Amino acid sequence: MRKKIVAGNWKMFNNLEESKELINGILEKLKNEKVNCDVIICPPYTSLSESAGLLKGSVVKLGAQNMHAEDKGAFTGEISSSMLKSAGCEYVILGHSERRTIFNESDDDINKKVKKAFSAGLKPIFCFGETLSERESGITNEVVKRQVTEGLKDIPESDLVNLVVAYEPVWAIGTGKTATPEQAEEVHSFVRSLIKELYSETAAENIVIQYGGSVKPENAADLLSRKNIDGALVGGACLKADSFIGIIKSA
Ligand code: PGA
């Protein structure tokens, strides 16, 4: 049985004070809940270290939203894997569609980051997904296959236990337009069969595939009840303790 994982991607929201307030709100509300899934929050870099302190001893784990593929160097404005580790991160989101489209990250760039994350002892939450025009052109599976195959190129099967993958159709992110559970399940099932092809049946059975794109407390239970949907990567709805907890409860 795969354990479900609910992760909150805070994006560029919440300064330090706001971050503390949100974390305290989440922890307070979680006290009264029996949590059956893994919970991760991914605040902005400037809040990571403080967040790690607040989360200590709780069920909530810490992740970052991106990192650079090099260990160190003259890369003004960038953050390395060891900086994230030392700030207390266990996870790092890589290949988010906003990184791919706004910051022009290629499959190859993302693959380098995934490799670096593993070697640094961070667990990647590796994202992929098609745009609306790709879906309408009927090439969803082709795009997803390319992103997953290239993104995981040369990653050994032994690393997959520390990998989370997230299917995030670009047209569903921040738009309020969720993929239907059927649409999501179809791609998740395709990705699981792709992992079987690239690795093995065991790897396919064990890999955690999250869905992301306008997940809310109202639609989470239906999505998360599908056979191949193992969790949620949440944007907008993770910025309020109540709605984030609502999704955790669904899982
Ligand atoms: P959303 O974002 O929940 O606001 O659609 C999801 C994501 O970008 O990970």
Q: Is 176 exposed, middle or buried (0-12, 13-18, 19+ CB in 10 A)?
A: exposed
- What are the residues facing 127 on neighbouring strands? 166
| Token digits of residue 181 | 């559970």
Measured CA to CA, the distance from residue 132 to residue 220 in angstroms comes to: 22
Please report the domains of the chain, with CATH numbers, ordered by start residue: 5-250 (3.20.20.70)
Is the CB of residue 9 less than 8 Å from the CB of residue 215? no
Contacts 24+ apart (CB under 8 A), 54-57: 54/20, 54/23, 54/24, 54/27, 55/23, 55/27, 55/88
pLDDT at position 32 is 87
Q: CB under 8 Å to 86, separation ≥6 — which residues?
A: none
Work out the angle at residue 61's Cα, subtended by the Cα atoms of residues 56 and 63, and round it to the nearest 5 degrees. 120
- From 65, 233, 239, 250, give the residue whose CB has the most ligand 1 atoms within 8 Å, as the site to mutate: 233
153 vs 37, 145, 156, CA distance in Å?
29, 12, 9
Below-50 pLDDT ranges, the chain? none
Instruction: Give, using CA atoms, the residue closest to atom 6 of ligand 1.
Output: 235
Chain-centre distance for alpha carbon 22: 19
Q: What is the pLDDT of residue 176?
A: 87
Q: Which atom of ligand 1 is nearest to the CA of 98?
A: 8
Question: Cα(223) to centroid of ligand 1, in Å?
Answer: 15
Structure confidence at residue 41 (pLDDT): 98
Cα(236) to centroid of ligand 1, in Å?
Answer: 6
**Hey, which residues does 94 pair with through a beta bridge?**
126
Q: Which residues line ligand 1 (CB under 6 A)?
A: 9, 168, 173-174, 212-215, 233-237
Q: What is the pLDDT of residues 119-166, one digit of tens each?
A: 999 999 999 999 999 999 999 999 999 999 999 999 999 999 999 999
Give 166-179 pLDDT, tens digit per residue: 999 999 999 988 89
